[in-house]
Amino acid sequence: MSKFQITVIGIFIVAIIAGVAVFATYKGAGSSSTQLPPITVWGTFPADTFNNYVAKINQTLSAPLGITYVQKSQSAFSDDFVRALAVGQGPDAILVPADMLLPQMNKITPIPYTALSQRTFMDSYINEAQIYLSNNGALAVPFVIDPLVMYWNKDMFAAAGLASYPKYWDEFTALNKTLTQKDQNGNIRRSAIAMGDFNTVLNARELLGTLFLQSGNTVTSISSTGAVTSALSNSGPTNLSSALQYFTQFVNPNSSNYSWNGGMTDSKTAFLSGTLATYFGFASELGDIRAKNPNLNFDVAPIPQWRSGGQKATYGRMYGFSLVRASSNQNAAYQTIAILTNQANLSMLSQMTYLPPVSSSLIAQGSSDPYMTIFDQAALISRTWFDADQAQSYQIFGNMVNAVVSGAKNASDAINDASDQYNVVLGQATQ
């Protein structure tokens, strides 16, 4: 080996030994009567909500937590994080969605299973959280889950003689005949579903990813050595062509399911105005929809599924706390995080945010709230994937869709080309 390789290996060995030493003093989920050193957390989670949450927790503690939280935009987070670490001014922990974690892998310290056992982790959290499990420990402690759900206009359905929402994707064929309306020139005036366009369909990346996940595909995969690569493929047990063709058919004027096009207003605005029967949005959007149109008679339902094959799934935006490798305050950071994520506090967080908890046992307790019942169901089937950069994957997915819509490529070739592009981006993220 070269001197450089020997040096790098030596650094990693020292880091691992240091990590073990740090966690060797871990005493449990923190103590309400013991003052912990203050920590700094960076993240993309809303600062107002986080700071309000910490303030509520501190009201219950005799020794309040000292946390400085810095909210960063998703686009600026990685660059700001690297620059701060370079001058020794980085945070002690980060709080970002799981699909933003890949570029930060070499900057965080996994929590060893001697401190948080794999069995305890798997028993404590919803299935999506298992994306954090690595050979060396947990990459993050789950904090919040925001699943993709379906909002549906009850008045539009009732006026068409429909009593309930679609549970399977193939039901939209009949719904389009009933709910989608066009004028004499073929212009769409009212739609059953918005799908197939990456400019006007909000959450298009997550929605297309949901179709792939439901097909049994993981979008990206992790090798035994920890390398993350594209799983987009038409080979093996998951053929994605049918999912991509389903997604794109709704913007094809020659399709019997034509119900949307890129010249229309965005899908959320259309839903709010009462011209779109279904909208695929996050659970966290409920309050915004209510506020923007208090007169809209709508309800929430699980994302439709394939009628056969694949697996039940929906995309879930899951935030988790990761410890920063360069921090000299890892033990205090972990004990602080343990308090922030204990069961009682996560229950309070769920009530504050009106989002389902990441704790399996809290979901098992059930809820009498009609919306939270749906959100809890969605959390249990939520999935995500390690991504390099959401903006780049959004562009890759969008180009894949546009290639099929324009007729430039068939679904199979578009998927293969997207997979090649995705591998380049994923490789760059870990360099």
**pLDDT for res 32:** 52
110: tokens are 């996994």
Q: Is 74 part of a structural domain of the chain?
A: no
In a domain, 342, yes or no: no
Residue 287 lies in a domain: yes
In a domain, 215, yes or no: yes
- Residue 79's DSSP bridge partners are none
pLDDT of residue 186: 87
- Could you tell me if 378 and 304 are in contact, meaning their C-beta atoms sit under 8 angstroms apart? no
**CATH number, domain containing residue 190:** 3.40.190.10
**pLDDT on residue 14:** 44
Distance CA 226, CA 208 (A): 25
Q: What is the 3-state secondary structure (H, E, C) of the chain?
A: CCHHHHHHHHHHHHHHHHHHHHHCCCCCCCCCCCCCCCEEEEECCCHHHHHHHHHHHHCCCCCCCCEEEEECCCCCHHHHHHHHHHCCCCCCEEEEEHHHCHHHHHHEECECCCCCCHHHHHHHECHHHHHHEECCEECCEEEEEEEEEEEEEHHHHHHCCCCCCCCEHHHHHHHHHHHCEECCCCCEEEECCCCCCCCCCCCHHHHHHHHHHHCCCCCEEECCCCCEEECCCCCCCCCCHHHHHHHHHCCCCCCCCCCCCCCCCCHHHHHHHCCECEEEEEHHHHHHHHHHCCCCCEEEECCCECCCCCCCCEEEEEEEEEEECCCCCHHHHHHHHHHHCCHHHHHHHHHHHCCCCCEHHHHHCCCCCHHHHHHHHHHHCEECCCCCCHHHHHHHHHHHHHHHHHCCCCHHHHHHHHHHHHHHHHHHHCC
> What tens digit of pLDDT does each residue of 28-54 get?
444 455 899 999 999 999 999 999 999
Q: What is the reported pLDDT for 235?
A: 72
Through-space distance between the first and last CA atoms of the chain, rounded to whole angstroms: 19
Question: What pLDDT sits at residue 225?
Answer: 80
Is 65 part of a structural domain of the chain?
no
Is residue 16 one of the residues assigned to a domain? no
Report pLDDT for 236: 63
Q: Which amino acid is at 65?
A: L
In a domain, 212, yes or no: yes
Domain that holds residue 389: 147-315+385-429
Residue found under tokens 């929605």: 207
State how far the Cα of 213 lies from the Cα of 231, in Å rounded to an integer.
11
Tell me which residue of 286, 390, 307 sits closest to 74, measured CA to CA: 390
Query: Can you read off the two tokens belonging to residue 427?
Result: 């490789």
Q: How many domains does the chain have?
A: 1
The two tokens of residue 302 are 């699980």
pTM (2 decimals)? 0.92
**Which positions ≥6 away from 392 have C-beta within 8 Å?**
425
How big is the chain, counted in residues?
431
Spatial CB neighbours of 242, under 8 Å, sequence gap ≥ 6: 215, 411
pLDDT of the chain, 431 residues: tens digit per residue: 444 344 434 444 444 444 444 554 444 444 455 899 999 999 999 999 999 999 999 999 999 999 999 999 999 999 999 999 999 999 999 999 999 999 999 999 999 999 999 999 999 999 999 999 999 999 999 999 999 999 999 999 999 999 999 999 999 999 999 999 999 888 999 999 999 999 999 999 999 999 999 999 999 999 878 889 999 987 766 679 999 999 999 999 999 999 999 999 999 999 999 999 999 999 999 999 999 999 999 999 999 999 988 899 999 999 999 999 999 999 999 999 999 999 999 999 999 999 999 999 999 999 999 999 999 999 999 999 999 999 999 999 999 999 999 999 999 999 999 999 999 999 998 77
User: Residue 332 and residue 77: Cα distance in Å, rounded?
Assistant: 23
Task: Answer yes or no: is 184 within a domain.
Answer: yes
How far is it, in rounded angstroms, from Cα 19 to Cα 108? 11
